[in-house]
Amino acid sequence: MKRVCVYAASRSGARPEFLVAAQELGTALVASGLDLVYGGSRNGLMGAVADVVLAGGGRVTGVMPSGLFAKEVVHERLTEFLEVRDMHERKATMNRLADAFIALPGGVGTLEEVLEAVCWSQLGIHKKPVGLLSTQGYYAPLLQMLDHALLSGFVTAEHRALWLADEDPHTLLAMLRRDTEDGEPSQPKLFRVPTVL
């Protein structure tokens, strides 16, 4: 595992813990000698993780469709910036460049990206591990929905195991690395749904 694609929001969210989590993930990537592939923005959680990796001497590749330049504000200090035609090419390019995927807390765009990454794994398009950084239990409702889908017969146990999750970025990176080395999915970790959002 050499490069990790991080799906992240171009907003910082309502809780300071989300921004801290993005920064801690950046620190963990640098400490692990891993390069970052991400959406190319300098805003929000996207910018936060990129800034930390760059400050630590790591390589950062941003991938962005030209139509989003004004909205997401291109990060100007990246190691490499790739301009693509559209969102489909953006996701395909990030998939091609990365050896694993992590989703930070985020909105519809982040959810869509990580769902597609897992779907591609399920279909055998790639065999790269996918992780959720579930800061403050952020992804607990999604994980519970997946368990509900499993019990309802729409998701197999094998496909449920494709979803790796942890609240600690170092632990999550270790889980991803283990999956890339031995090809065996780590056991999924379930989270409580936070009572106060």
Q: What DSSP line would sit under 72-86, residue for residue?
A: IIB-SS-SEEEEESS
- 173 part of a folded domain: yes
CATH assignment of the domain containing 51: 3.40.50.450
Domains identified in the chain, total number: 1
56-75 in b/e burial notation, b at 16+ Cβ within 10 A? eebbbbbbbbeebeeebbbb
First to last CA, the chain: 34
- 11 part of a folded domain: yes
Cα 139 to Cα 192: distance, rounded to the nearest angstrom = 9
- 121 part of a folded domain: yes
pLDDT at 186: 45
**Does residue 158 contact residue 188 with C-beta atoms inside 8 Å?**
no
- 187 part of a folded domain: no
- 197 part of a folded domain: no
- 153 part of a folded domain: yes
- 61 part of a folded domain: yes
Cα 72 to Cα 10: distance, rounded to the nearest angstrom = 7
- 111 part of a folded domain: yes
The 10s digit of each residue's pLDDT in 60-107 is 999 999 877 666 688 999 999 999 999 999 999 999 999 999 999 999
The 10s digit of each residue's pLDDT in 107-154 is 999 999 999 999 999 999 999 999 999 999 999 999 999 999 999 999
Contacts of 113 (CB under 8 A, 6+ apart): 7, 91, 103
Determine the structural domain holding residue 39 and report its residue range. 3-182
Average pLDDT over residues 32-41: 97
Average pLDDT over residues 177-193: 57
pLDDT at 190: 42
Cα 124 to Cα 78: distance, rounded to the nearest angstrom = 31
